[in-house]
Structure 1
């Protein structure tokens, strides 16, 4: 699964988060929760269940 910046992902615990930055090593993603809490945190590849929204890029 390819995850890019500004995609929205769902984690194993059911949390949805927006990917703010992608790193070459684990933890792979720096995210912000997509709910009212707005917490920012790091996520590993193993925690991602699916991409729920793919950010479209204008080329």
Structure 2
């Protein structure tokens, strides 16, 4: 009942903003098939076995 309410997207956004403040310029992660659409929506791109988000500029997210 908690799916599709933006909770995971909001949590991901908080985490990305926090690591950006710490100077991290890139995030790589392994994603399940179920989780991949969330990361793609946020801006991650699929690599061979993982997904990646480069943090060059401020990332403004909206649901």
> TM-score surpassing 0.5?
no
Structure with higher Rg: it is: 2
- Quick check: which one's strand share is greater? 1
Structure with greater helix percent: 2
Give TM-score, length-normalised by structure 1. Answer: 0.30
| TM norm structure 2 | 0.29
